Structure 1
Amino acid sequence: MLAVSSYPEVYVQLAAARVEEQIVAYAALADATKGQPAAEAALAAFAPGYFATALLALDHHFMHRMRGAEGKDGNPLNEVRMLGDAIMSHDGVLTGDKTIKYDPAKSLTGIALGQAVVLDAESFSRLARSYIAEIGKRFPG
């Protein structure tokens, strides 16, 4: 497939809605486990894999985006690209990308190079919402 330079607004909105559905569903599950130590522990063990998979699914919606339009300033698109690459190709450890100016202090997750990619509901939600907003700005349809 050729690189995509724009996404229809409705496509971006539908992707955002899917992400929100998953965030809400996870929050409901977390609420249902409160006060049940075994269930809370099971959910805590489940969460990192769930959010890693959710990040890959999110990125897949826009995987053919034109890289030049994405920018290289460590924005949410860059962060998702790097985190996805870490999950898929580096055993879940964040590695540098010489084309991206990544600063963990300015990132949405705060994950440093060499650290394991471990997302929770809060960090995934913040990153996913910012990613979708950035897609809308940089790839208007």
Structure 2
Amino acid sequence: MLAMTSYPEVYVQLTAAKLDEQIAAYGALADAVKGNAKAEAALAAFAPDYFNSMLLALDHHFMHRMRGAEGKDGNPLNEVRMLSDSIMEHDGVLKENKTIKYRAEKTIAGIEVGETIALDAERFEKLAKAYVAEIGKRFP
């Protein structure tokens, strides 16, 4: 597939709807286990790998995006690219990308270079929504 310079609006909307469904399903599961310490602990142990995998799936939906249109200013697209690459290639430890102006304090997830990536529901949801919004702006 060639590099994508735009995505159909309906595709972006459907992707956002899928994300909302998955986030809601996880929320329902979290609500269902409240009060059961063993189940809560199991869910807490499960969450980082689940949300890291969700991040990879999200990135895959738009993996052919043209890097020039993505920019290099540390935006949510850059953040997801760096996190995804680090999950897949560096055992989940965030590695620097010298082509991106990444500053953890200005990112959605706030993960420092060298830190292990362990997303939770709240950080994933914020990052996913910002990512999809940025796709809509940069790839209309």
TM-score range, shorter chain: over 0.9
In the other structure, the counterpart of 1:74 is 74
Amino acid in the other structure paired with 1:6:
S
Q: In the TM superposition, what whole-angstrom CA distance separates every residue of 1:3-52 from its partner, at most 9, and x where no partner exists?
A: 00000000000000000000000000000010000000000000000001
CA RMSD of aligned residues (A): 0.3
**What is the CA–CA distance in structure 1 between the aligned matches of 2:128 and 2:10, rounded to whole Å?**
17
Unaligned runs of 5+ in 2: none
Q: What SS does structure 1 have at the residue aligned with 2:130?
A: helix
Amino acid in the other structure paired with 1:36:
N
In the other structure, the counterpart of 2:41 is 41
**What is the CA–CA distance in structure 2 between the aligned matches of 1:2 and 1:21, rounded to whole Å?**
29
Determine what percentage of the aligned residue pairs are the same residue.
71
**What is the CA–CA distance in structure 1 between the aligned matches of 2:9 and 2:124, rounded to whole Å?**
22
1:42-121 alignment to 2 at 5 Å? 42-121=42-121
Amino acid in the other structure paired with 2:78:
N
Amino acid in the other structure paired with 2:118:
V
1:8-27 alignment to 2 at 5 Å? 8-27=8-27
Q: CA deviation at 1:101?
A: 0.2
Q: Does 1:138 align with 2:138?
A: yes
Q: What SS does structure 1 have at the residue aligned with 2:2?
A: coil
Count the aligned residue pairs: 140
**What is the CA–CA distance in structure 1 between the aligned matches of 2:6 and 2:110, rounded to whole Å?**
29
**What is the CA–CA distance in structure 1 between the aligned matches of 2:10 and 2:108, rounded to whole Å?**
25
Q: In the TM superposition, what whole-angstrom CA distance separates every residue of 1:27-80 from its partner, at most 9, and x where no partner exists?
A: 000000100000000000000000011000000000000000000000000000
Runs of 4+ in structure 1 over 3 Å off: none
**What is the CA–CA distance in structure 2 between the aligned matches of 1:78 and 1:58, rounded to whole Å?**
13
